[in-house]
């Protein structure tokens, strides 16, 4: 089957535009990942740990890296594939559950600092009501 000149031109333009779009998205994703790693390394180096008071009144030092936890949550919600079309809610919930209850406000603050987003709002947005119900006690 022989295509006429106009059809060939249209198909060529569509193909080049599609390749340019895919290349742009891949480059943008690469830049985001590079910037994320740079910020995580910066915050991880600056973070020395927290003192947490347990329910029994005992003060305990912890070295949980909240910047990396925030990064894991962000990756699970936003950086799960090249086009950002899917999210891994289970992974995000599991990371949140690894943070002690007393450090959740600091985790929210780290998340906001790193990504200019509200952790609680993101979780409510991405999780279904049953999943949110299982971890909402952490945010009260």
Express each pLDDT in 112-136 by its tens digit. 988 899 999 999 998 888 888 888 8
pLDDT tier at 80, thresholds 50, 70, 90: low
Residue 105's pLDDT is: 87
**Taking the domains of the chain in order of start, what are their residue ranges?**
5-139
Q: Which of 16-20, 50-54, 63-67 has the lowest mean pLDDT?
A: 50-54
Architecture of domain 5-139: Orthogonal Bundle (1.10)
Residue 51's pLDDT is: 65
Gap between the Cα atoms of 33 and 28, Å rounded: 9
Cα 54 to Cα 57, 100, 137: the distances in Å are 5, 10, 17
Express each pLDDT in 3-21 by its tens digit. 788 888 998 999 999 989 9
User: What CA dihedral angle connects 104, 136, 84 and 33, to 10 degrees?
Assistant: 10
Check pLDDT > 90 for residue 33.
no
pLDDT tier at 23, thresholds 50, 70, 90: confident
Cα 116 to Cα 1, 28, 82: the distances in Å are 54, 18, 21
| Averaged pLDDT for residues 49-66 | 68
Q: What tokens does 121 get? A: 């709002």
Q: What tokens does 29 get? A: 């994703």
The pTM for the full model equals: 0.62
Query: Between these two residues, 2 and 24, which has the higher pLDDT value?
Result: 24
| Averaged pLDDT for residues 34-43 | 71
Gap between the Cα atoms of 102 and 105, Å rounded: 7
Percent of the chain with pLDDT over 90: 17
3-state DSSP: the chain helix, strand, coil percent, rounded to 5?
70, 5, 25
Residue 99's pLDDT is: 87
């Amino acid at each position: 089957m022989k295509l006429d000149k106009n059809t060939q031109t249209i198909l060529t333009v569509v193909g080049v535009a599609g390749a340019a779009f895919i290349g742009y998205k891949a480059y943008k994703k690469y830049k985001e990942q590079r910037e994320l790693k740079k910020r995580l390394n910066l915050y991880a180096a600056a973070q020395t740990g927290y003192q947490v008071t347990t329910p029994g009144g005992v003060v305990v030092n912890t070295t949980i890296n909240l910047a990396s936890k925030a990064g894991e949550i962000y990756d699970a919600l936003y950086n799960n594939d090249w086009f950002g079309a899917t999210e891994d809610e289970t992974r995000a919930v599991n990371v949140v559950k690894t943070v002690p209850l007393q450090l959740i406000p600091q985790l929210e603050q780290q998340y906001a600092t790193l990504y200019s987003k509200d952790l609680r709002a993101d979780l409510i947005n991405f999780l279904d009501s049953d999943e949110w119900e299982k971890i909402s006690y952490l945010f009260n």
